[in-house]
Amino acid sequence: MKITTDGLVIWESKTGEADRVITLLTENGIITAYAKNSLRPKNKLTSPTSMLCFSNFELYSGTNMYTVDDAQIKHRFIKLSTDVNGYSLAAYFCELLKLLAPIEDAAEDFLSLMTNSLYLINEGKKPLFLIKSVFEMRIMCLAGYMPDIAECAECGESNSAGGFFDVTNGVFYCESCVKKSGRAVNIGAAAVSAIRHIISAEGGKIFSFDIGVASLSALKDVSEAYVCTHVDHRLPTLEFYNSLTT
């Protein structure tokens, strides 16, 4: 069976003398495909099957994976190739997608989140820390780990000035009830408001909010902690990104 689909290359590995096995993020989920001779410089598949390239693919289904018959580049995030921090952040996003995005099932929201994030990194439109935090919180929501922070988990208060977040249980506590939680950390009301926006806004609007430096730092810490708490997997790309930025 032959299919045609747009896809973003989120992983590649060499196999044989000059072939690639690539992982694609498509609107229909994660797809693994074999790209013959795609490591040869003059091969037609070399560029469109490269990491972080968004291409249109013609694929034949096989026993274990698809085979790339043809591919045409639709968009390349060119500036990422010269931005070590930006590229390493994108690689971290790819690792999360491999772990959390569905396999050959509806994944339009995952693809939209990734392409919007890559655009902002590539164009320098937002601070990397903000893009990272938004991506982390949003992908966790898409994967079924949406935090419940509409109101205090203990008393139901929604307009408290406090901002205490329990990363293990994904809930919010007000200042009056935080002692009962035993594990919530104070991230401040502004960071809580930012998380509420991230999990509820539509499409590219998830990045459209203002936040102060101190609150962004708190958001950065809690979003990463939330991922690491609920993704039961070592994340080498995150470790590398943090080694560049700390």
Question: Chunked in runs of 10, what are the mean pLDDT values of the chain (246 residues)?
Answer: 96 96 98 97 95 98 93 95 96 98 96 97 94 98 94 81 86 85 86 94 91 94 97 96 92
pLDDT score for 215? 94
E-strand stretches of 122-188: 148-152, 164-166, 171-173, 185-186
Q: What pLDDT score was predicted for residue 159?
A: 66
Q: Do domains 2-76 and 79-146+179-245 have the same CATH topology?
A: no
Q: What would the two tokens of residue 86 be? A: 């930006």
Which CATH number is 79-146+179-245's, of 2.60.40, 3.15.10, 1.10.3470, 1.20.1440? 1.20.1440
So what's the pLDDT on residue 79? Answer: 92
For residues 133 and 241, the answer to whether their CB atoms sit within 8 Å is: no
The hierarchical CATH code for the domain 2-76 is 2.40.50.140
Residue 246: its pLDDT value, please?
Answer: 79
Q: What is the pTM of this model?
A: 0.94
Distance of CA 65 to the CA centre of its chain: 24
Q: DSSP states of 15-84 as a string?
A: ETTTEEEEEEEETTEEEEEEETTTTSTT-TTTTTTSTTEEEEEEEEE-SSSEEEEEEEEEEE-GGGGG-H
* Cα 228 to chain centroid, rounded: 13
What residue spans define the domains of the chain?
2-76, 79-146+179-245
pLDDT at 161: 59
The reported pLDDT for the residue numbered 71 is 98
Q: Which of 153, 123, 148 is nearest to 137 (CA)?
A: 148
> Do 71 and 49 form a contact (C-beta atoms < 8 A)?
yes
Q: Cα dist. 152→175, 177, 191, 192, 234 in Å?
A: 9, 8, 15, 11, 31
